Amino acid sequence: MRYRLEDYRSAEAFRERILGLMRTVRQRVPKGELLVVFPEDVGLGLIFTQDFERVQSAKSMVEAGLRLMERLQINTINAEGGFAGATRSLLRTLSPFVERVYHEAFSEAARMAKAWIVAGSAPIAQGDCVHNVSYTYNPKGERVLTQRKINLVPLEQEAGLNLCAAPCELPVVNTPAGKLGVLICLDGFYHELIDQHVKRGVRVISMPSYNPLPWTKEEAQGWENGLLAGVQKYPNLTGVNPMGVGGFFDVNAEGQSSIVTQKTKTLDGSGYLARAKSKDQEEILYYPAP
């Protein structure tokens, strides 16, 4: 999925963006069970929605955040914890709106398409903390799994969004493709988490991702140490790694989405059942499960 600021100009715009993508997916796969995985941070842009006109001309994420803090009267100097504390206070304040719009859009999309959906992720407050949270929905639109990100990248740490790292909790849910587990982006590089999922009978691991770096040859090779490498011990395990591209203001992501398995199970020995052709364009990958 390509992230564009204008798709977050209103709750309705976000809803239509998600529903539009799911309509396209269902046109491609008109019948049968469907499991769809969206990229990480698909709900992040919702922090700008309520004050879209105020922030849309900002040159950077920091400038946009400062404009929101000014409107909400969050003092970046006197806030406990300084700017990092003000950032968390901002995200906590906006969280009820973000969570509601994120949940309603994906719940409706799951019902409309009669699909299982791993809804990427969004910044959602729980108590004093704000976590990077992924919801999974069944075809009735019911939220059936909540996964919080355990290992945070620099953009999510104190100097960035100041999120909280979650404890190592790995819920699973039964789907028509087998038991499903979710590992958000960097968590998929911790292969012990994949091992724990497999011990619980997981057959599909979804890894919603967002890589705010240029997709160089070296970067692409580094990503092969994540989910692709992690599934190699397990012949019955499939990994789904959608990567968001595009972004907001001065934050821009690149990457190639993929569906992976044990290398011996692919004709070319690559381990890729499907892989995006581009590093910066929107693509929908599809693989028919056995």
> How do the domains of the chain map onto residue ranges?
2-275
Residue pLDDT, tens place only, 118-129: 999 999 999 999
What share of the chain has pLDDT > 70, as a percent? 99
**At CA 51, angle to CA 93 and CA 112, rounded to 5?**
85
Average pLDDT over residues 265-282: 96
Is residue 77 pLDDT above 80, yes or no? no
Distance of CA 194 to the CA centre of its chain: 18
Q: How confident is the model at residue 12 (pLDDT cuts 50, 70, 90)?
A: very high
Q: How confident is the model at residue 162 (pLDDT cuts 50, 70, 90)?
A: very high
Residue pLDDT, tens place only, 216-238: 999 999 999 999 999 999 999 99
Extract the runs of DSSP E, i.e. beta strands, from 87-185: 116-118, 122-126, 129-137, 143-148, 172-175, 178-182
Q: CATH: 3.40.50.300, 3.40.50.2020, 3.60.110.10, 3.40.50.2300. Which one for 2-275?
A: 3.60.110.10
For the whole model, what pTM was predicted?
0.96
Q: How confident is the model at residue 185 (pLDDT cuts 50, 70, 90)?
A: very high
* Average confidence score pLDDT of the chain: 96
